[in-house]
Amino acid sequence: MPLLFGGDYNPEQWPPDVWAQDVRLMREAGVNLVTVGVFSWAALEPEPGRYDFGWLDTVLDLLHDNGIGVALSTPTASPPPWLGHRHPDTLPQGPDGIRRHYGSRNQYCPSSPVFRAAALAIAGALAARYAHHPALRLWHIGNEYGPSCHCGQCAERFRGWLKERYGDLDSLNAAWGTAVWSQRYSAWAEVLPPLRVPYVVNPLQDLDYQRFGSDILLECYTAERDAVRGHNPAVPVTTNFMDFYRHTDGWAWAVETDVVSLDTYPDPNDPGAGMRGAMSKDIMRSLGGGRPWLLMEQSPGAASWRPVATPKRPGLNRLWSLQAVARGADGVLHFQWRASRQGAERAHGAMVPHAGPDSRVFREICSLGAELARLSEVDGLLGERVPADVAIVLDWDAWRAAELPHQPHDGFRYVDRLTEYYEPLWRANITCDFARAGGRFRDYRLVLVPNLYQVTPAAAANLAAYVEVGGTVVLGPFSGVADPDERIFTGGWPGPWQDVFGVRVEEHWPLPEGVVLDVDSAELGDFTASTWAEWAQARGADVVAQVRGGPLDGRPVVLRNRYGAGTAWYIATLPAAEALARLLARVCADTGVEPVVPGLPPGVEAVRRGDWVFLLDHNDDTAEIRHAVPD
Ligand code: GAL
């Protein structure tokens, strides 16, 4: 199969004579896959139970006749107005108890039996009709699952979820710490989602609702997936994930898909966009266990939801597309094929922009299509894996918990912590995978844990065992602080790992903006740090860096400990970027982790996939690279 190339196609927005032009232009551009039907529910079922598949029959046949495959979507991300109008309890409620109405999209309550039944009915009807259509390559379930609802039906499902997790009410009371602030529940019926409350809500109630929110949406997804699979198990199924998205736990979701797919919209005005895009792509590859993944959506131009929707400069869409292929994607799709003339996304970029095919954007799309077709022909690329010696731990629960209200620093952002560790490695052309906290660390020379605030016993044991047998770990601050019930570990931090890291943290010491720590280090060179510090004490570890001056004078902030046959580094602060880069370079050198290509000019990215090395120049000017290719 060639590299997939195309985008979301919304023919229901256009009269049929445009469809003929569409397929002609698709062929010209080398498009071989389009996603159809994402928002077609109202067009497919104009009234309850009355289906109109005629137009979709024509579209799918037309695409097939022109050699274009289809990712067919169940259109359940945007129910038609008739559903919400007749059944207001299919509409979601916010934590404020206010109903969100139709007139936009995503207006569904995942717990609503009426919504579920209607969604399964349309998904089943589509599958019954098209599961063996020759154009069908892939099912695309829903779209960007994520909305949350706090209605009475969700409250009921939440109570059921809690009963599963905790068993009885006493255990729930114990886990939620309801002795605090007189929150003890005397009957299940009293237990609610975290609604709008006078002050800060119970932290585990909040966290459990986030966990539940991911699970209830996953239930919607798997129900539709199973409904379509039942008609033809040979067709793979996916749903599109977003870049860092806290509401749906990527690890739990990825295993339920046949192929992981990504929607990504880095900001062309962001100088760090190339790095950020690489990171999202590495996450998608990792969620799928290293298998090829699919870039489902990116904009060929502007993303109209940005406050300033600057288009991609010439060449940028090609660069970011090839970055996806380099980092393991076997397909590059866009949102969307033809620019909408109406509706909320009328200012969004598209493969065929408003200006029409006689445009810079369409010409670039055509040359990208041709290039991807050429790449499809080379041996040792498609389907191949991307080797990585470094894993970065990514954990949804730790992320959510670290950002709950009333943590020591409300500006402590989990994704920023991961990015701070990812960026210097990206600059050094060292490829990283992402791993779950309980993942198979032994596949890696080095495991980075920029933050793991919440730790399960299994994750604690997994990391300790890896170090013990010779692995190297770098652990960032505010880690090992709480268990999965959001109970703080007593006796110092990192709770389960004081022996592994040879350190005991007594106090967290978040720093206000503008306060800079001076740090002395003979080994790494002196540096500065900010935002976060800790009152730590070495308990067996070597002190590599310590604070100079101020109330933390002399406190260690970088420590290295031998544990079993391995090495455990603990970083109790947020070093300035160059200092963290030096530290990580040092650890990489110690562990034999090497760049894909050494000594490249800044801004030139190197990634190995299969037999190939991609060199991606993120600069505006020309870079000349002379590199001896090893045999
Ligand atoms: C995605 C969505 C698409 C489109 C796009 C615009 O979130 O899946 O349908 O709205 O954003 O950037």
**The predicted structure's pLDDT at residue 622:** 83
Domain residue ranges of the chain, discontinuous segments joined by +: 4-148+234-376, 390-591
Ligand 1 proximity of 241 Cβ (cutoff 6 Å) = no
Pocket probe mutation, ligand 1, options 34, 345, 351, max atoms within 8 Å of Cβ: 345
Ligand 1 proximity of 263 Cβ (cutoff 6 Å) = yes
Residue nearest to atom 10 of ligand 1 (CA): 345
* CATH architecture classification, 4-148+234-376: Alpha-Beta Barrel (3.20)
Supply 19's token pair: 């469809």
Give which of 216, 202, 92 is closest to 150, Cα–Cα.
92
Instruction: State in Å: Cα 312 to ligand 1 middle.
Output: 16
Distances (CA, A) of 400 to 199, 208, 214, 236, 405: 19, 10, 12, 31, 10
Pocket probe mutation, ligand 1, options 12, 106, 143, max atoms within 8 Å of Cβ: 143
Atom of ligand 1 nearest to the CA of 38: 9
Q: What share of the chain is helix, strand, coil (3-state, %, to 5)?
A: 35, 20, 45
Atom of ligand 1 nearest to the CA of 39: 9
Distance of CA 577 to the CA centre of its chain: 23
**The predicted structure's pLDDT at residue 629:** 60
* Residues 71-85 pLDDT 10s: 999 999 999 999 999
Distances (CA, A) of 569 to 354, 413, 439, 523: 54, 21, 19, 14
Q: Beta strands 566-571 and 556-563: pairing type?
A: antiparallel
Atom of ligand 1 nearest to the CA of 299: 12
Ligand 1 proximity of 9 Cβ (cutoff 6 Å) = no
Instruction: State in Å: Cα 495 to ligand 1 middle.
Output: 42
Instruction: State in Å: Cα 398 to ligand 1 middle.
Output: 27
The separation between the first and the last C-alpha atoms of the chain, rounded to the nearest angstrom, is 28
Name the 3-class secondary structure at 381.
coil
**The predicted structure's pLDDT at residue 198:** 96
Whether 423 is catalytic: no
CB under 8 A, 24+ apart: contacts of 317-322: 317/364, 317/365, 317/368, 318/364, 318/367, 318/368, 318/371, 319/274, 319/616, 319/617, 319/618, 320/266, 320/274, 320/277, 321/295, 321/368, 321/372, 322/371, 322/614, 322/616
Residue nearest to atom 1 of ligand 1 (CA): 263
* Residues 218-256 pLDDT 10s: 999 999 999 999 999 999 999 999 988 999 999 999 999
Cα–Cα dist 441/390, whole Å: 9
Mean pLDDT of the 198-224 span: 98
- Bridge partners of 545? 558
DSSP character string of 385-414: ----SEEEE--HHHHHHHTSTT-S-TT--H
Cα–Cα dist 377/370, whole Å: 11
Is the pLDDT assigned to residue 624 strictly greater than 90?
no
Ligand 1 proximity of 368 Cβ (cutoff 6 Å) = no
* Residues 138-164 pLDDT 10s: 999 999 999 799 999 999 999 999 999
Residue nearest to atom 12 of ligand 1 (CA): 303
Mean pLDDT of the 296-324 span: 97
Question: Is-contact 599 588, C-beta < 8 A?
Answer: no
Atom of ligand 1 nearest to the CA of 144: 8
Radius of gyration (Cα) for the chain, nearest Å?
A: 26
Pocket probe mutation, ligand 1, options 297, 304, 306, 351, max atoms within 8 Å of Cβ: 297
Ligand 1 proximity of 303 Cβ (cutoff 6 Å) = yes
Ligand 1 proximity of 563 Cβ (cutoff 6 Å) = no
Confidence of residue 125 (pLDDT cuts 50, 70, 90): very high
Confidence of residue 631 (pLDDT cuts 50, 70, 90): low
Is the pLDDT assigned to residue 630 strictly greater than 70?
no
**The predicted structure's pLDDT at residue 147:** 79
Atom of ligand 1 nearest to the CA of 240: 8
What percent of the chain clears pLDDT 70, i.e. is strictly above it? 99
* Residues 536-570 pLDDT 10s: 999 999 999 999 999 999 999 999 999 999 999 99
Ligand 1 proximity of 143 Cβ (cutoff 6 Å) = yes
Question: Is-contact 339 311, C-beta < 8 A?
Answer: no
Q: Indicate the pTM of the whole model.
A: 0.97
Neighbours of 298 (CB within 10 A): 23
**The predicted structure's pLDDT at residue 628:** 62
Ligand 1 proximity of 297 Cβ (cutoff 6 Å) = yes
Cα–Cα dist 447/577, whole Å: 19
Ligand 1 proximity of 39 Cβ (cutoff 6 Å) = no
Question: Is-contact 168 213, C-beta < 8 A?
Answer: no
- Looking up tokens 């934590």, which residue turns up? 95
Instruction: State in Å: Cα 265 to ligand 1 middle.
Output: 9
Q: Say which of 12, 156, 256, 297 is annotated catalytic.
A: 297
Cα–Cα dist 264/243, whole Å: 6
**DSSP class of residue 184?**
-
Is the pLDDT assigned to residue 1 strictly greater than 90?
no
* Residues 342-370 pLDDT 10s: 999 999 999 999 999 999 999 999 999 99
Residue nearest to atom 5 of ligand 1 (CA): 335
Cα–Cα dist 341/227, whole Å: 34
Ligand 1 proximity of 5 Cβ (cutoff 6 Å) = no
* Residues 462-493 pLDDT 10s: 999 999 999 999 999 999 999 999 999 999 99
354: exposed, middle or buried (C-beta count within 10 Å: 0-12, 13-18, 19+)? middle
Ligand 1 proximity of 265 Cβ (cutoff 6 Å) = yes
Whether 219 is catalytic: no
Query: Mean pLDDT of all residues in the chain?
Result: 97
DSSP character string of 407-437: -S-TT--HHHHHHHHHHHHHHTT--EEEE-T
Confidence of residue 283 (pLDDT cuts 50, 70, 90): very high
Supply 534's token pair: 């800790």
Q: Say which of 28, 45, 47, 144 is annotated catalytic.
A: 144
Neighbours of 576 (CB within 10 A): 16
What percent of the chain clears pLDDT 90, i.e. is strictly above it? 97
Q: Which listed CATH number (3.40.50.880, 3.40.50.2300, 3.30.450.40, 3.30.1330.60) goes with 390-591? A: 3.40.50.880
Give every CB contact of residue 627 below 8 A, 6+ residues apart in sequence.
Answer: 597
Is the pLDDT assigned to residue 208 strictly greater than 80?
yes
Residue nearest to atom 3 of ligand 1 (CA): 335
215: exposed, middle or buried (C-beta count within 10 Å: 0-12, 13-18, 19+)? middle
